[in-house]
Amino acid sequence: MATPGSFSLTNTTTGGGGGGTVGAWVNVSPANVDFINDLTCGNFGSETMLVDPATGQDIVSDKRTSYGMFFRLAENDFIARIDRRLSALTNLPIENGEGLQVLHYPVGGGSEPHFDYLQPTNVANRESIARSGQRVSTLVTYLNDVPAGGQTVFPTLGWAVSPLRGNAVYFEYCDDAGRVDPRSLHASAPVTQGEKWVVTKWMRQRRFVSAGS
Ligand SMILES: O=C(O)CCC(=O)C(=O)O
């Protein structure tokens, strides 16, 4: 198992949509990328959920062909350190963060365009928004170089980010009044060679309280 080094996350570039949508690249130190990979060993197997843009429902979807697992917030010392760093980077309280999600896309894996914000078109989403507020931002960190395919694509913005180990893409889509920005529509292009590993952090308007807690 790799040793967790000091977690360095540097906001290197900003760009993207303008208006309510902000995009940024960040960089994660290689030791920490290895450590995140090691920590996930043996915990995979469940298909991942996404929010269907048409219905707002959380779905296990043929629109996403990847496998994933969640860490609980501050599940161990290393994850707690990442949670703290991402809280500082996004300028939101640690407690507003959902647990880190790690995704694995095999060859052919990807996702159709979708929003990360919750649409209040079903009871589960309405209850989640009532508990924790809306999702406000997403940080996707790439854990490996992908030889071909696997870009994070923003079709409305005409923006695509290639997965490079240790880089990340950050985007915001909800203002203080709770208005969401549909320009944050995004997808993972299919991996055509190799595989793709990412870790995703979603932040909420308020303390994140999961269903049943
Ligand atoms: O894997 C990616 O590039 C994007 C991940 C994603 O769409 C998400 O976490 O909502």
What confidence score (pLDDT) does residue 118 get? 96
What confidence score (pLDDT) does residue 20 get? 35
The DSSP letter of residue 6 is: -
Would you say the CB of residue 98 lies under 6 angstroms from ligand 1? Answer: no
Would you say the CB of residue 96 lies under 6 angstroms from ligand 1? Answer: no
Q: What is the number of the ligand 1 atom nearest to the C-alpha of 196? A: 1
What confidence score (pLDDT) does residue 97 get? 96
Would you say the CB of residue 132 lies under 6 angstroms from ligand 1? Answer: no
Would you say the CB of residue 125 lies under 6 angstroms from ligand 1? Answer: no
What confidence score (pLDDT) does residue 78 get? 85
Nearest CA to ligand 1 atom 7: 187
pTM of the model: 0.78
Q: Give the chain's domains with CATH numbers.
A: 23-204 (2.60.120.620)
Would you say the CB of residue 200 lies under 6 angstroms from ligand 1? Answer: yes
What confidence score (pLDDT) does residue 213 get? 78
What confidence score (pLDDT) does residue 71 get? 86
Would you say the CB of residue 111 lies under 6 angstroms from ligand 1? Answer: yes
What confidence score (pLDDT) does residue 18 get? 30
171: phi then psi, degrees, rounded to nearest 5: -145, 145
Mutate to test the pocket of ligand 1, among 115, 138, 159 (most ligand atoms within 8 A of CB): 138
Would you say the CB of residue 198 lies under 6 angstroms from ligand 1? Answer: yes
207: phi then psi, degrees, rounded to nearest 5: -55, 130
What confidence score (pLDDT) does residue 30 get? 53
- Cα distances from 88 to residues 58, 64, 128, 146, in angstroms, run 29, 30, 24, 28
* Residue 200 alpha carbon to ligand 1 centre in Å: 7
Mutate to test the pocket of ligand 1, among 103, 165, 167 (most ligand atoms within 8 A of CB): 103
- Cα distances from 107 to residues 11, 56, 101, 113, 189, in angstroms, run 30, 28, 20, 18, 11
Chain position carrying tokens 């060679």: 193
Mean pLDDT, consecutive 10-residue segments, the chain of 213 residues? 32 32 45 54 49 49 67 88 89 94 90 94 93 96 94 95 91 92 95 94 95 81
